Amino acid sequence: MSPPRILQILPDGSAGGGATAVLGLCEDLMRSGAFEPTLLTQPGSPVAASAAAAGIPVATLDFFTARLDPRLPVRLRRLIARIRPDLVHAHGARAALPLAMPGLQPVGPLAYTVHGYHHANKTLPWRWLGRAAERRIARRADAVIFVSEGDRARADREAILPRDDARGRVIPNGIDPADFVALPPAEARFDLIFAGRAHPQKNPLLLVEIMERLAGSGLTLLMISGGPLETALEARIAKSPARAAITHVGARPRRDILAAFRAARLLVMPSLWEGLPITPLEALHLGLPILASNVDGTSELLTDGVDACLIDGFSADRYAAAIRELLGDPPRLARLAANGRRLVATRHLRQLNAEAHAALYRRLLAARPDAQ
């Protein structure tokens, strides 16, 4: 008897924390031999290429033809019918909403992971529409997975999914130490590093302002960032008086990013919001201290003064002052790094994440009518 087939749907095929988490989950499921995963993602994307290189079966579908493409639900369900999975695991609302639309054939057990509630940071009416979409998805899903307690609290607060609903659970992101073995050497050393999508959520343009406040310090910044804001970011850097201190290299493979972490002194993360980010877990495992915004998700993962320095608000002056203070205090940096490594080793290993998902899949599959 063949193992159950699990279809993982990740529409956004760009590199990032969510992609790292889903690719890692697929690899762990394959390695266990207990499940057969297939990854459905955007055609021609970095995620599709990474999955294929890892030996993960890949299917593709264009999820970005339009914001509300009425053809997408039908196309998606036709593709699922061809793959014939025993369980579908949708990551993010763009993956799950087409499966929650009424009047279409159900796809069987549906697990849904919230990788941060992005609607909460949008303007009206998109905030209302996003909340309505999340409520519809939560009603349809057989299990709703949160990567952070903050997202679970928001689901309860916004009447998306009550906290006492047994379908909800928190499964934190984790890393696999094996991914850090034999990293390539970094080409250059930098004082500061930013590694995140060029997207408003990650707030990359603030880094340019911060470097302008650090004029005359001699500090250098490496920005590894590709995405919708990349052109605007390049233009902002080109006009900045701090441009000589900033190196922007666009998107890079994950192993190149990890190698760059080893060549930096401080990771700067001024995100406007987060689910439970993987980037700081990777940095801390490598002994790289972190300066980050004090937002839900990040603040749930990191503790100010213990394993990171968290900044309230988004003032470039405040960030610049904190950077000067931290880099001028090597013992403090070493203490933050050591505490961070212990945090990752005890609470955020990917094996724990995979085991929790496997247990959930078994429960959902056992509850199917044809499993009785």
pLDDT digits (tens, 9 = 90+) for 102-155: 877 778 899 999 999 999 989 999 999 999 999 999 999 999 999 999 999 999
CB 97 within 8 A of CB 72: no
Largest CA distance in the chain: 71
Instruction: For the sheet with 190-195, list strands across it.
Output: 246-248, 221-224, 190-195, 264-269, 290-293, 309-311
DSSP letters for 247-312: EE-----HHHHHHHHTTEEEEEE--S--SS-SHHHHHHHTT--EEEE--TTHHHH--BTTTBEEES
Question: How far is Cα 29 from Cα 137, in angstroms, rounded to an integer?
Answer: 25
Question: How far is Cα 345 from Cα 362, in angstroms, rounded to an integer?
Answer: 27
| Strand pairing report for 58-60 and 87-91 | unpaired
Paired residues of 311 in beta bridges: 293
Specify the pLDDT at position 105: 73
Specify the pLDDT at position 128: 97
Specify the pLDDT at position 372: 57
Q: What is the CATH number of domain 5-174+349-371?
A: 3.40.50.2000
CB within 8 Å of 232: residues ≥ 6 apart = 198, 205
Structure tokens at 173: 């992101």
Q: Which residues of the chain have pLDDT under 50?
A: none
CB 18 within 8 A of CB 95: no
CB within 8 Å of 199: residues ≥ 6 apart = 227, 228, 229
Candidates 26, 4, 35; CA nearest to 370 is 4
Please tell me the chain's helix, strand, coil percentages from 3-state DSSP, rounded to the nearest 5. 45, 15, 40
Specify the pLDDT at position 193: 98
Specify the pLDDT at position 371: 72
Taking the domains of the chain in order of start, what are their residue ranges? 5-174+349-371, 178-347
Question: How far is Cα 14 from Cα 18, in angstroms, rounded to an integer?
Answer: 9
Structure tokens at 278: 């993987």
DSSP letters for 138-201: HHH-SEEEESSHHHHHHHHHTTSS-TT-TTEEE----B-GGGGTTPPPPSS-EEEEEES-SSGG
Provide the CATH topology of domain 178-347: Rossmann fold (3.40.50)
Specify the pLDDT at position 323: 98
* Residue 239 burial (C-beta neighbours within 10 Å; 0-12, 13-18, 19+): exposed
Specify the pLDDT at position 136: 97
pTM tops 0.85, yes or no: yes
